[in-house]
Structure 1
C-alpha cells in the first residue's frame, strides 16, 4: 500500500522512485542510514536539515551540510549515507524528459537553500509519495524544479576527491587522521619517505588537484562538520582543523564558500 504522506524512506522506496517515469516522487527520512549503491532514471534533489549527509561516487565524496541541497543527475551511480541521528533528509525525484533545457540538470552540485526554496521543500512533507501530471502537487513540484537553475548558479566545493591508489590512499588517510596538525607537503612527503615532487604528482595524476588545494578542502569540510556536530566555538574549530588563528581559518573559509564561517553558522 502506498504511504499517505512522504515521510518514510526504506529500501523498498528505491524501486518506487522510477516506477512512473513522468511522476515526481517525494521521500523524507530522518536518522542514521546508509543506502546501497544505486542510480535513478530521474533527477534527484536531496536537501539536508539539522545535520550532514554524504553522497559517495567512485572517485569522490560530496558532503552536504545543513541548509544545503545536492542535485544528482539521472543515471548517476551513487550511495547516500547519513551519519547523525538528528539529520533530516528530504529528497525529490523529478521526471527527466526535459532535463536538456538547462545544463544545470546534467551536472552534480551542492547549493545553499534560500528561504523560498526551504519553505517549498518543507511544504512537500504533506504530499503523497508520488505526484502525477495534472495534480496540484505536480504543478507545485514542477515550479520548484524550474526555479533551480535560476537560484542555484555556483556550486559550493563540498567535494573530497578519493582514490584507491595504493600509494596515495595511505597519504589521504594520514591527512584525515592528522587534520588538526600544521601539515605541509614537506612534512607529509618525509613521513612517507617520498620526495615532494612525487607526492605532488600523485595528487595531480590521481585526483586532478594539488596537495595544497586538497588539504584546504579537507580542513574546511572538517570545520563544517565540527560546526554542525559540536558546541566548539570558531576559534576552537580553527585550531582543530590545523589553522594557527581564527583569521586564517576564516579567510580560507570565505575564499572557498563565499561567506564567513560566522555567517554559515548563523544559517544552520
Structure 2
C-alpha cells in the first residue's frame, strides 16, 4: 500500500514522484516555517521558489545551489532535486507552472536575486496562496511573472557549487568543506587525491569548471551566509570564523560572489 503525502498541493508517492491532479495552469503555495524531509523528488510542473526568509540548498545534477533570502530558484519540469537547510526559519513561496514559454531560460536551473519589482509581484501573488480555483486575474498575473523571469535574471552561476564525479576529487572537496577556515594547502590536497599538484589543478578545473581557489572561496562565503542567518554574530566575528583576517577582506570576497555587501539585521545588535 502506497502512502501519499501532500506537498504544495501535489500528491507524493513513496517513490518520490508527484502525482498532479490539479487542472490549473499555475498556482502558488506559501508556507511559514517550511519543513524539509531531505528526499530527492521530481514533478512534471516547472517550479519557481522564492525564499522570503532563511536560506535553502538545492541538490540538482551534481551541483549544490544556494538560495538565500530574497532570491529565487527556477527548476525546470521533471528535474530531480533534493533540499536541505539549517536555517532556524524558512519562509517560502512556491509557484508551480504546468507549461512554460519556448525559450532556453526555462530549460535550465536558474538562481538569482529578486529586485524590488519582482519582489512586489511575488508578494502580491501571495493572496492566491493555496487557491486551486480558476481566477482570470491570477492566470494573467502568473503568466506575466513567468514571461518576465528571463529579464530579471542577470547572473545565476555565482550561487552554485559543483560536486565532481571523479572519485579522487571527493576527498579533496571533503577536506576543504571541513577546513575552509584555513588557507588552501594545495600540496596536501594533491596528496589526498594521490596525484601531482599540476594534475589536481587541471583535473579539478575540468571536472567542476572552477579552480580549487574558487571552490575554497565559495565554501567560505556559503558558510558565512549560514552564520549571518543565525543573527548571533557580528560581521567581524563571521569574517574571522570563516577564515578572513579582516572585515574588509571578507566584505570584498563576499561582494565578488554575492554581488552585494553582507549585512545583518541591526535590531539584533
Q: Mark yes or no: TM-score above 0.5.
A: yes
- Kindly indicate whether residue 169 of structure 2 is the aligned counterpart of residue 160 of structure 1: no
Q: Is the 8 A contact 1:156 1:257 kept in 2?
A: no
Q: Counterpart of 2:106?
A: 105
Equivalence for 2:230: 229
What is the number of residues matched between the two proteins?
Answer: 256
Q: Is the 8 A contact 1:49 1:87 kept in 2?
A: yes
Indicate the larger mover: 63-72 or 74-83: 74-83
2:26 to 5, 16, 24: 24
Give runs of aligned pairs for residues 138-217 of structure 1, distance below 5 A: 138-155=139-156, 157-190=158-191, 194-217=195-218
Q: Which residue of the partner structure matches residue 136 of structure 2? A: 135
Output aligned runs, 1:247-258, within 5 Å.
Answer: 247-258=248-259
SS at match of 1:180: coil
For 1:239 and 1:194, the matched residues in 2 are separated by 32
SS of the residue corresponding to residue 99 of structure 1 reads: coil
Judge conservation of contact 1:31–1:86 (CA < 8 Å) in 2. yes
1:191–1:164 Cα change, 3 Å: closer
Give the Cα–Cα distance (whole angstroms) in 2 for the partners of residues 108 and 9 of structure 1.
20
Cα distance in 2, alignment partners of residues 141 and 233 from structure 1: 39
Greater shift in the superposed pair: 48-57 or 161-170: 161-170
1:85 Cα deviation (Å)? 4.2
Contact between 1:32 and 1:85, CA under 8 Å: does it hold in 2? no
Deviation at 1:244, TM superposition (A): 1.8
CA-CA distance at 1:166 after TM superposition = 2.9
CA distance in 1, matches of 2:101, 2:54: 30
SS at match of 1:111: strand
Unmatched runs of 5 consecutive residues or more in structure 1: 1-7
Determine the C-alpha separation between the residues in 2 that align with 1:53 and 1:254: 20
Residue aligned with 1:117, SS: helix
Offset at residue 249 of structure 1 (A) = 1.7
Tell me the CA shift for residue 130 of structure 1. 5.3
Equivalent residue, structure 2, for 1:59: 62
For normalisation by structure 1, the TM-score amounts to 0.83
Gaps of 5+ in 2: 1-6
Deviations 1:180-202 (A, max 9, x none): 11223234335666431232133
RMSD: 2.8
122-131 or 226-235: bigger deviation: 122-131
Alpha-carbon separation, structure 1, partners of 2:185 and 2:254:
18
Structure 1 contact 26–91 (Cα < 8 Å) conserved: yes
Deviations 1:219-253 (A, max 9, x none): 11111221112422222222222222222222222
Q: Distance in 2 between matches of 1:80 and 1:236?
A: 28
**1:134 CA drift (Å):** 5.8
